[in-house]
Copies of this chain bind each other. A is one copy, B any other.
Amino acid sequence: MPFIIDTVQLKSFIAIVETGTFGQAAETVNRTQSALSLQIKKLEEQLGCELFDRTNRRVTLTPQGEIFLGYAKRMIQLQWEAFSRLREPDVEGEIRFGTPEDFATHYLPDVLASFRQHHPRVQLNVDCDLTLNLIDGFHRGKYDVILVKRDPQQVKGGTKVWREPLVWAAADGYQLEPRLSLVLSPQPCIYRARALAALDRAKRSWHISYTSPSLAGTLAAVKAGLGITVLPAHMIPAGVHPIRKEIKLPHLADSEVALMRKDELSKVAEIFADHVVQSLENIKT
């Protein structure tokens, strides 16, 4: 994603804020830790104040850093706006896009709508399916761009686009049984696999009481008290709540969504992919 001016520094700064460490941030922006260290040093020199408090292991923002964070985000946002406004205003063509169903329902409608508005002559074909099916189709050339859920541990290419906590959730007033009743998606589902693996590691007994391929179906079953489920924190609807920590259920790694692009992507698809990445970036704030 080529930008006009040195967004690099700002991106690094934001990455550090989000990860809490220079090292991790370095990975996400594809640079070394020392590079970020120098970038921030320069930034701080120019501003004449410290941006981070390094007394603790995890760095945190100073009050000045907080202020600057707001500006950094606005600056990046502004650049993106200028950029996307000028770049190829009337491309046309076709894009084959695959995405998990739940993600499509929750976060994508606005993103896709605004893309459509900027590029009305592009034909966008969206396919909702389970991550593993999407990856399969992607490798068979069925898609130009896909969003996939993935395990933060085993990074397998693509650019990270979204990350949020994954939690156990149950209907309000639901009473946990010793042998857990689970409401999950059917087989090749990443959350399902993660949940079951975690339970097995913790030696908890369980059974699956209900399966549905759609998020809406799963939620309906949970609300009806058929069991507990696993959800990204932001997708919890009314009538359902995360299960309290006191009731020890095995911890789940964060949910992470990444975007993958076909090699030799068409220009339209390239623009589309950038649009998705950047728009989600902005939603987060």
What is A's interface to B at a CB cutoff of 8 Å?
2-7, 9-10, 43, 46-49, 64, 67-68, 71-72, 74-75, 78-79, 81-83, 85-88
Contacts and interface: CB of A to CB of B under 8 A. Distances in A.
Contacts of A79: 71, 75
> How many copies of this protein are present in the complex?
2
A237 to B, nearest CB: 37
Contacts of A85: 67, 71
Contacts of A83: 46-47
B47 A68 contact: no
A83 to B, nearest CB: 7
Contact of A87 (B9, B43, B49, B82): B49
A192 to B, nearest CB: 43
Given A78-B71, A79-B75, A48 B86 contact: yes
A86 B74 contact: no
26 contacts: A2-B46, A3-B46, A4-B6, A4-B46, A4-B47, A5-B5, A5-B7, A5-B10, A5-B75, A6-B6, A47-B83, A47-B86, A48-B86, A49-B87, A67-B82, A67-B85, A68-B82, A68-B86, A71-B81, A71-B82, A71-B85, A72-B82, A75-B78, A75-B79, A75-B82, A78-B78
B78 A43 contact: no
A87 B67 CA distance: 12
Contacts of A2: 46
Contacts of A7: 5
A206 B9 CA distance: 61
